[in-house]
Structure 1
Amino acid sequence: MIIDEAQNMTPKQVTGIITRAGKGTKVILLGDPKQIDNPYLDEQTNGLSYASEHMKKSPFCYQITFNAEECERSELAMDAIQRM
């Protein structure tokens, strides 16, 4: 199961998804905590950051974090990430 834009989900929504995963299910959360569109969430209170922090030492989880230099988008997107 791939959940994109998880930074726009609440911790409760992400918890609801992860805790209902069936046997053999892989859950992949994608997102950028710096690109939140939900006015009720911020970098610390969004579902992606919540899951990242709470599942950090779980033997069932692995986290990959990219920095701005690893951006795979256009040069325009890279410039905007650095400026905004």
Structure 2
Amino acid sequence: MNSTAALIAATYLDLAKDVMQLPVALLDLREQLDLPREVVDATILEMTKTGFVHLLPSSDRSRNDSEVMEAAIPVGGERKDFLVFEGEFFGE
């Protein structure tokens, strides 16, 4: 795992309070990371290829404020607002 992926994973764990499969808002994740958006997006998309990291759309479509929309990662024409790690990613 590269250092950017490790930082994203550690930040996820911090925001999720070490609870696996807890969706973490990309907006919250981005606020904690001091990395360029394109680096974060590319790393997250690469991490999803493991099958243990997932991007999810928001179930609350009423929350369409500009910050949330800007933090999202578009995948297949759909806005993904949340990041979820399965325990297997961390070897659990």
Normalised to the residue count of structure 1, the TM-score between the two structures is: 0.34
Task: Choose between structure 1 and 2: higher helix proportion.
Answer: 2
Structure (1 or 2) with the greater strand fraction: 2
TM-score, normalized by length of structure 2? Answer: 0.32
**Higher RCO by CA contacts (8 Å cutoff, separation 6 or greater):** 2
Structure (1 or 2) with the larger CA radius of gyration:
1
